[in-house]
Amino acid sequence: MLFWFVMAYWMVSVGIGLYAATRVHNTKDFAIAGRHLPFYMVTATVFATWFGAEAVLGIPATFLKEGLHGVVADPFGSSLCLILVGIFFAAPLYRMNLLTIGDFYKKRFGRGVEVATTLAIVISYLGWVGAQITALGLVFNVVSGGEISRFAGMWIGSSTILIYVLFGGMWAIAITDFLQMIIIVIGMLWIGGEISGMVGGVGVVVDHAAQAGMFRFWPAADAKEIIAFAAAGMTMMFGSIPQQDVFQRVQSAKTEKIAIWGSILGGSLYFLFAFVPIFLAYSAMLIAPQMVAERVAADSQMILPQLVLDHAPLLAQVLFFGALLSAIKSCASATLLAPSVTFTENILKPLLNRPGHPLSDRKLLLAMRTVTLIFTLMVTLYAINSKASIFKMVENAYQITLVTAFVPLVCGIYWRRASNQGAAVAIFLGLATWLAILIAGPEDPFIPAQFAGLIGSVIGMVAGSLAPQLMHHNPAIHDELRHGHHAAAQTHHVPDLGHSHPHG
């Protein structure tokens, strides 16, 4: 019964995603939903994209092992990322009227920086999408009672998500995300109520966790521990900011104000709801301590699904697995589209464009869909062969963007003297420092590789920008981009929407 309920829900949501494909007529519709999304849809797609497998399976498993201290990266770092995007990045990026985050690097720092940052961003998505596909395999295996293997579940999940992303793009994701946010909220609150009733209320669980020292958050007064704590938090807080999926949600908004507040509210909702699965997983320790002990030793990601299967009634099971699938689908669909769009626009398009024969919008849309198909196959194979946990896959995904793309983005927007040379040196020094410590450094370095890489990137940007310029640098481009002048939009194939709404 559970399996057929879940499969029916799965097929209906895929059908809704395909229906959304009727709104896709060009690359702008496919990549950023034509810049037409209202406030409630932007908020929903920000929340639903981030509330993925790691929120329901990865974070609770890590919390049970390490307490609140262990989940500083997610949900603390990740939700702060979305709030910071809303406060500092949404408005200037929205005014620039670009199709991808790679377009920002191209206009601000030139072709070389565009290619380097785009490749880093695309590679970073392997871990995030891989985590969602791994979780899909787990869910299909559980709800089918073992009849569908994890391997087969991964292929079923990735291929069905691919169908509506391939045709519907950002429109399909936005509409399904709105519906999936409703399912996630209802499902999580319902199952929270069911489990709370079994343990004697929320207070009982919170008191038990407090007495067990699970709420220790801050590191001990030890330099190494403080640095490790800061590095874990900033990996997702800063490393997630220069990402195409975040940029798409900002650019898809109908107005600048919606872009700002949709990101802030979506991030705040994510932070609040991320604690529901943590509560459920800790409740499992009171309800089924033996099962939890076995699962922590074998596969801690299975604690929540096992608790629901063993102790919840059928309706609660349907709602839980419906919410879990919604969370994974919304996250996976967004993270399949984002790297595919940015790779096509910033790497492939300049190679396919010939002098006097620019690539037509129709052919560019076909290229985006083809790259989406290829990327889906790649990440599915990556997920099948990866041994990392869902939480680690997601956390590690952002290290490469933290050390390469974050500093050029911040300085490109907020520092007028940031130059093409500075950005190039920042990328090189950040990446080289990170890789050197990862490959040749000690197993447990005093300064974690990603933190050292970030410091290297900052030094590279400042030194490269202040040194005599060997590369062409035009400071005026900063003013054009920063203040949304028409000149910033005229060189791009997306029409300038600067005065199509009151906030442009």
Greatest Cα pair distance in the chain: 73
pLDDT of residue 493: 43
Bridge partners for 253 per DSSP: 37
**What does the CA dihedral 459, 464, 467, 472 come to, rounded to 10 degrees?**
-170
pLDDT of residue 53: 76
Contact 282, 205 (CB under 8 A): yes
pLDDT of residue 394: 67
pLDDT of residue 215: 93
- What are the tokens at 158? 């990735």
- Residue 357 — φ and ψ, nearest 5°? -135, 70
pLDDT of residue 489: 40
pLDDT of residue 482: 67
Among 237, 136, 169, 141, CA closest to 30: 169
Which ranges of 353-404 would DSSP assign to H, the alpha helix? 361-385, 390-397, 399-404
Predicted model pTM = 0.85
Bridge partners for 301 per DSSP: none
Q: Per-residue pLDDT tens for 448-477?
A: 999 999 999 999 999 999 998 877 776 667
Ranges under pLDDT 50 in the chain: 485-504
pLDDT of residue 390: 67
Contact 412, 423 (CB under 8 A): yes
Measured between alpha carbons, how far is 96 from 44 in angstroms, rounded to an integer? Answer: 23
pLDDT of residue 487: 40
